[in-house]
Chain A
């Protein structure tokens, strides 16, 4: 690997773009933002191409001791690589989604988004505890501004709630980090991942981190900031919130909670399962009765994230891989669904489901893509949603059949609320003349949904592309947590040995009867 600091470059490009957007006019700001995000996308592609599968665990490592007490340390493994790819993939789409919808204070808007991109990549690439914390927390500022300035009716309430909820969750994590750094004598994340904290201390550390990640994830019952934030945020804000910000919680569990506190993770897995089971059922039922499209998708996000958490705490390879794929898939699919809502919102300026109907007649292309993403959200085989949910639930089935049973109802309920939504929006009569007069997708909108649709199908048909980079890292994590693995109730036994042909023959000979039977 060459010493070229590609990760730093990926952080600096959007940052420079943000500064450029702040000082330039509306039109130029849009172009600067698009170019900056496309450059980052290209860099992300380079990153993926250069990433050596089966190579060292941490690649593209940079380490500059710039600060007192912590360093500018970056580096990625397969897990971080995939999440960075998700971020850089969604960003140009976000920029495109706001191209015409945002007309006031355009420069500041794109600056906030580009800043957000820097911080998201920073979170996934940080290899220093405090650097991670700074990036993790800093994301609140641009998101607060995005929701508060460009949001909907109740944007101020939503922005406060978003900020204070997540801040309260995170500050406790900082205290835990300070203690860990003092105890272990290092802030280097890879070192800490191999450090064994005393089990009694792990309990407290786990709870402090849990407070932060559970809010970010979000897990029931601390999910209530999410529907507000999603509904009030502008379309691109919702895409980035659902697509990437929620993944920071899951990433936190994978990177910190599980490897650093395996015993405590096992100890609290019952709590996680209970919260996740409640989340799957309760938020799915809530989603079923929503009149607001964005709120419906927001609640479905909570349900999907619960599938992520049960997979993570299943303590086995299937569960962990499944969780990662659910996160990636949900990033694409929920982003795409918010985009679909945004596309019709831009035309009719309402998110009320009843104001639409029969869109498949006047917007056939739109209806096609919306159907694809709806199916992916449900988890139809062939789409990305299926792969992740299947692996996650398969993982949890080894641990507890009951949890698997309850969480699988989420798929049924998911089908219910998503199909119900689709029926009301796309099928049926064209009740409203204004909705019936809406035009189909413009080339700009097609350019946004087509890549998402292709990615969803790719991940559904050939998930190996995405599983391969993280396989070694997931295996390492599984080995790390193996010592604390709780006993499952599945009592998995090795399958019966396959009966070989000769034995077959012998058996036949022995019985010497009914030669035309069998086979």
Chain B
């Protein structure tokens, strides 16, 4: 494999890194005045990177010709699918940020740069073909994220979120590194393909420990139970555009990384991790649903909702089939749309002075004061609950279909029965908006960006989304096939 081809394969990462570095210099010299211009440039870079990754997905790229630098990075259809979601949600996080930060005069030039670097790191996580690449990508994303969580320097909650995220994230990285070192010690390699081959020859206790620690470290990053406790605090404390980013891009990245590690690196020892994933899946669904019931803050509620959704996605992993992986990707794509939509609603919820409204009680009677917002939120909530005919149902449907087809009937039954618990708190949000007397807290003025994003996501999540199922199914099928075709 020559260098030029390797460099060509990682063109999206190069674009984003170079753009990030240049914009960093611009930020250093031009200062916060240039924040808007830098944001626009960063969005342009992300869109360019998306254009660069899209062909690999459309062509269904897989196999040896997608491996760069001797297999350290893989630019296959799977990575491409995940990167489209990651770069797309990073771009949204940039687009919605200025109006939020401007109000508290906190729009700084480094925000878009940090988001760019986080996006590069997240993209590397899903492309990694080696534990070291994976770790570098993970840390690149994490370091940028810690700063982003604490971005509102004068806000205690934001500082607390940053600190919590840092301490627990560092702990998770430590656990992950420990697992990687164990795996390396017992298999003699850090490359996924090498580990796959080594584990195929039989498991020993050390290898099992390695697998468990690696999975525990990643479970922190995807916020799966029992490693979920940081999520509500960080989601609540971080500035809302940053929360939007956290709930989408790094989540997709960590999930993609988990899929590649579990299926490629540890794929030959699936029996060793399937039980762990099944437990994490069911526990996430149940605890995510139960935890959300008592929440009064809409961002905390969405945090538990994301834990709940991670549980459903993990069902696709637990069955370890290509169909399951394709279902996970479909779910992820729909999940990203739902999450973007719900956080944009949170951003659009302002009181009459323009201050953000986060209390569920303040949303009372929203349907009479701000109809568009309330109806979009209704679509989002029923979508998140997985009630047909909203498109959110399709994500759950494909995951459960894969589980049933693979013969995991008890898992599917428990999972779907537990989804009814989750429906309760989504219904509560609808009840507050539609049945309660208006609280009159939320103002009427809306922004063009918000409205456009809301209308876009709710059209995608409305029954019209079903028209995309064939197209989405084809893309995720390609991507999942690439994941399994790694030799």
Interface residues of A (CB under 8 A from B): 66-69, 105, 108, 130, 133-135, 137-138, 140-141, 144-145, 148-149, 155-156, 159-160, 163-164, 167-168, 171-172, 174-175, 178-179, 181-182
Asked if residues B420 and A137 are in contact (CB atoms below 8 Å), the reply is: no
Whether B453 is near chain A, meaning CB under 8 Å from some CB there, is no
Asked if residues B409 and A163 are in contact (CB atoms below 8 Å), the reply is: no
Asked if residues A68 and B472 are in contact (CB atoms below 8 Å), the reply is: yes
Asked if residues B423 and A67 are in contact (CB atoms below 8 Å), the reply is: no
Question: Across the interface, which residues of A come within 8 angstroms of B397, CB to CB?
Answer: 130, 174
Question: Across the interface, which residues of A come within 8 angstroms of B413, CB to CB?
Answer: 172, 175
Whether B434 is near chain A, meaning CB under 8 Å from some CB there, is yes
Partner of A179, one of B409, B420, B467, B472: B409
Asked if residues A67 and B469 are in contact (CB atoms below 8 Å), the reply is: yes
Chain A proximity of B418: nearest CB distance (Å) = 9
Asked if residues B368 and A105 are in contact (CB atoms below 8 Å), the reply is: yes
Whether B387 is near chain A, meaning CB under 8 Å from some CB there, is yes
Chain B proximity of A494: nearest CB distance (Å) = 48
Asked if residues B400 and A174 are in contact (CB atoms below 8 Å), the reply is: yes
The 5 A-B residue pairs whose C-beta atoms are closest, nearest first, are: A68-B473, A68-B469, A178-B404, A134-B388, A138-B389
Asked if residues B466 and A171 are in contact (CB atoms below 8 Å), the reply is: no
Partner of A182, one of B405, B424, B469: B405
In the assembled complex, 17 residue pairs joining A and B whose CB atoms fall closer than 8 Å, in A order, are: A66-B467, A67-B470, A68-B470, A69-B469, A108-B367, A137-B388, A137-B389, A138-B388, A156-B435, A159-B431, A160-B424, A160-B431, A164-B424, A164-B427, A168-B417, A175-B416, A182-B404
Asked if residues B412 and A178 are in contact (CB atoms below 8 Å), the reply is: yes
Asked if residues A148 and B469 are in contact (CB atoms below 8 Å), the reply is: no
Partner of A134, one of B393, B416, B470: B393
Query: Can you name the residue of chain A whose Cβ is closest to the Cβ of B413?
Result: A175
Query: Can you name the residue of chain A whose Cβ is closest to the Cβ of B474?
Result: A68
Question: Across the interface, which residues of B come within 8 angstroms of A66, CB to CB?
Answer: 466-467, 470
Chain A proximity of B387: nearest CB distance (Å) = 6
Interface residues of B (CB under 8 A from A): 367-368, 382, 387-389, 393, 397, 400-401, 404-405, 409, 412-413, 416-417, 419-420, 423-424, 427, 430-431, 434-435, 466-467, 469-470, 472-473
Question: Across the interface, which residues of A come within 8 angstroms of B387, CB to CB?
Answer: 137-138, 140-141, 167
Query: Can you name the residue of chain A whose Cβ is closest to the Cβ of B402?
Result: A178
CA distance A167 to B423 in the complex (A): 9
Asked if residues B420 and A175 are in contact (CB atoms below 8 Å), the reply is: no
CA distance A108 to B374 in the complex (A): 12
Chain B proximity of A149: nearest CB distance (Å) = 6
Chain A proximity of B25: nearest CB distance (Å) = 47
Query: Can you name the residue of chain A whose Cβ is closest to the Cβ of B428?
Result: A160
Question: Across the interface, which residues of B come within 8 angstroms of A155, CB to CB?
Answer: 435
Asked if residues B417 and A171 are in contact (CB atoms below 8 Å), the reply is: yes
CA distance A433 to B319 in the complex (A): 71
Question: Across the interface, which residues of B come within 8 angstroms of A148, CB to CB?
Answer: 431, 434-435
Asked if residues B431 and A167 are in contact (CB atoms below 8 Å), the reply is: no
Chain A proximity of B344: nearest CB distance (Å) = 21
Query: Can you name the residue of chain A whose Cβ is closest to the Cβ of B385?
Result: A167
Asked if residues A67 and B427 are in contact (CB atoms below 8 Å), the reply is: no
CA distance A231 to B405 in the complex (A): 42
Chain B proximity of A365: nearest CB distance (Å) = 37
- Asked whether A133 and B388 contact (CB < 8 A) given A148-B434, A156-B435, A164-B420, the answer is yes
Chain A proximity of B458: nearest CB distance (Å) = 13
Number of A-B contacts (CB under 8 A): 88
Question: Across the interface, which residues of B come within 8 angstroms of A108, CB to CB?
Answer: 367
Chain A proximity of B135: nearest CB distance (Å) = 37
CA distance A182 to B435 in the complex (A): 41
CA distance A454 to B285 in the complex (A): 53
Query: Can you name the residue of chain B whose Cβ is closest to the Cβ of A174?
Result: B416
CA distance A59 to B269 in the complex (A): 53
With A144-B427, A163-B427 already in contact, 11 other A-B pairs whose C-beta atoms are closer than 8 Å? A66-B467, A67-B469, A144-B430, A148-B434, A159-B431, A167-B420, A171-B417, A172-B413, A174-B416, A175-B416, A179-B404
- Asked whether A171 and B405 contact (CB < 8 A) given A69-B469, A145-B434, the answer is no
CA distance A179 to B427 in the complex (A): 29
CA distance A163 to B435 in the complex (A): 15
Asked if residues A69 and B401 are in contact (CB atoms below 8 Å), the reply is: yes
Chain B proximity of A5: nearest CB distance (Å) = 17
CA distance A156 to B387 in the complex (A): 19
CA distance A175 to B414 in the complex (A): 10
Asked if residues B400 and A141 are in contact (CB atoms below 8 Å), the reply is: no
CA distance A167 to B400 in the complex (A): 16
Query: Can you name the residue of chain B whose Cβ is closest to the Cβ of A151?
Result: B435
Chain B proximity of A10: nearest CB distance (Å) = 17
Asked if residues B404 and A175 are in contact (CB atoms below 8 Å), the reply is: yes
CA distance A182 to B404 in the complex (A): 8
CA distance A163 to B388 in the complex (A): 13
- Asked whether A156 and B420 contact (CB < 8 A) given A69-B469, A134-B389, the answer is no
Question: Across the interface, which residues of A come within 8 angstroms of B430, CB to CB?
Answer: 144-145
CA distance A156 to B437 in the complex (A): 12
CA distance A137 to B469 in the complex (A): 19
Query: Can you name the residue of chain B whose Cβ is closest to the Cβ of A66?
Result: B467
Query: Can you name the residue of chain A whose Cβ is closest to the Cβ of B401?
Result: A178
Question: Across the interface, which residues of B come within 8 angstroms of A134, CB to CB?
Answer: 388-389, 393
CA distance A148 to B387 in the complex (A): 17
CA distance A291 to B181 in the complex (A): 74
Query: Can you name the residue of chain B whose Cβ is closest to the Cβ of A133?
Result: B388
Query: Can you name the residue of chain A whose Cβ is closest to the Cβ of B375?
Result: A22
Chain A proximity of B48: nearest CB distance (Å) = 31
Asked if residues A175 and B400 are in contact (CB atoms below 8 Å), the reply is: yes
Question: Across the interface, which residues of A come within 8 angstroms of B419, CB to CB?
Answer: 171
Question: Across the interface, which residues of B come within 8 angstroms of A174, CB to CB?
Answer: 397, 400, 416
Question: Across the interface, which residues of B come within 8 angstroms of A172, CB to CB?
Answer: 413, 416-417
Question: Across the interface, which residues of A come within 8 angstroms of B367, CB to CB?
Answer: 105, 108
Asked if residues B401 and A171 are in contact (CB atoms below 8 Å), the reply is: no
Question: Across the interface, which residues of A come within 8 angstroms of B388, CB to CB?
Answer: 133-134, 137-138
CA distance A133 to B427 in the complex (A): 20
Asked if residues B472 and A168 are in contact (CB atoms below 8 Å), the reply is: no
Chain B proximity of A18: nearest CB distance (Å) = 12
Asked if residues A156 and B467 are in contact (CB atoms below 8 Å), the reply is: no
CA distance A381 to B367 in the complex (A): 49
Partner of B431, one of A105, A140, A156, A181: A156
Question: Across the interface, which residues of A come within 8 angstroms of B405, CB to CB?
Answer: 178, 182
Question: Across the interface, which residues of A come within 8 angstroms of B389, CB to CB?
Answer: 134-135, 137-138
CA distance A141 to B397 in the complex (A): 18
Name which of A66, A164, A171, A175 has the most chain B CB atoms within 10 A of its CB.
Answer: A171
Chain B proximity of A121: nearest CB distance (Å) = 14
Chain B proximity of A326: nearest CB distance (Å) = 29
CA distance A325 to B409 in the complex (A): 38
Question: Across the interface, which residues of B come within 8 angstroms of A67, CB to CB?
Answer: 466-467, 469-470
Asked if residues B435 and A149 are in contact (CB atoms below 8 Å), the reply is: yes
Question: Across the interface, which residues of B come within 8 angstroms of A145, CB to CB?
Answer: 430, 434
